[in-house]
């Protein structure tokens, strides 16, 4: 699909969402979950297999290089300055033989090519060097779409008194969305950071952010999130 087609699709989707928003609001949807008192940044699958070209999982490179990575750099700077928790999430598998009698891929390899993300090839699942973890940040390895499903994420967040998760990453239609949905189900306030969420397919980001904002979490801009984080830092310093 050409850039022109993608832009036209986004325009048409926005028109449809504006109409749908009126219906949702009339029925009591699109309420605000709001920012809490202590946030964590949960960055989903911003690893090389997704952020760099040449992989089946590669996402929109224009958005990745022009919006997602720069936005993440701003968020990381703010979180680090405020001493707030940062969790980098990635995905890889130890047994990638699709004919094996037992594999940690479960059944997912029957739908998507997760077998290409082999745990032995660390470069594939390593977090993009432009937003690489620093000492004091945690890298979580997941096996399913949600960063919560079958992982220690919920326990780590609760142990650190986190009530709000700023969710970034890819893809909007799968791992980001599932993380947001499980986040609110587990009692956290999910904030999807608009400019820091991507996908492979035109229109997928716009649709999923609209639907997340209507039902599962708040969609906020990078600047709105930075203002919130800086405000917390100012209160702590007062």
* 8 A C-beta contact, residue 193 and residue 225: yes
Secondary-structure breakdown of the chain: helix, strand, coil percentages, each rounded to the nearest 5: 45, 15, 35
Give CA–CA dist 194/190, Å, rounded: 12
- Going by the DSSP 8-state scheme, the letter that residue 67 receives in this structure is I
| Active-site residue (options: 173, 175, 196, 225) | 175
Give CA–CA dist 176/109, Å, rounded: 19
Give CA–CA dist 219/217, Å, rounded: 7
Give CA–CA dist 201/228, Å, rounded: 31
- Report residue 9 as tokens: 């699709």
* 8 A C-beta contact, residue 232 and residue 79: no
- To which residue do tokens 């890889």 refer? 92
Strand partners, 166: 41, 191
Q: Reduce the DSSP state of residue 126 to 3 states and report it.
A: coil
Q: Is 175 a catalytic residue?
A: yes
Query: Which residues are part of the catalytic machinery?
Result: 175
């Amino acid at each position: 699909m050409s850039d022109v087609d993608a832009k036209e699709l986004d325009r048409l989707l926005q028109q449809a969402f504006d109409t749908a928003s009126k219906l949702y609001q009339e029925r009591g949807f699109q309420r605000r979950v709001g920012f809490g008192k202590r946030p964590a940044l949960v960055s989903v699958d911003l690893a090389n297999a997704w952020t760099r070209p040449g992989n089946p999982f590669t996402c929109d490179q224009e958005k990745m290089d022009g919006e997602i990575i720069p936005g993440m750099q701003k968020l990381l700077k703010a979180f680090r300055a405020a001493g707030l928790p940062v969790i980098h999430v990635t995905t890889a598998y130890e047994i990638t033989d699709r004919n094996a009698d037992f594999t940690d891929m479960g059944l997912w390899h029957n739908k998507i090519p997760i077998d290409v993300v082999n745990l032995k090839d660390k470069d594939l699942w390593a977090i993009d060097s432009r937003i690489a973890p620093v000492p004091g940040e945690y890298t979580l390895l997941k096996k399913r779409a949600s960063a919560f499903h079958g992982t220690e994420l919920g326990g780590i967040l609760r142990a650190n008194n986190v009530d709000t998760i700023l969710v970034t990453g890819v893809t909007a239609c799968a791992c980001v969305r599932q993380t947001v949905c499980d986040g609110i189900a587990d009692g956290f306030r999910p904030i999807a950071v608009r400019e820091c969420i991507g996908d492979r397919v035109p229109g997928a980001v716009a649709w999923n952010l609209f639907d997340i904002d209507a039902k599962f979490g708040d969609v906020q801009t990078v600047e709105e999130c930075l203002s919130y984080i800086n405000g917390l830092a100012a209160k702590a310093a007062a």
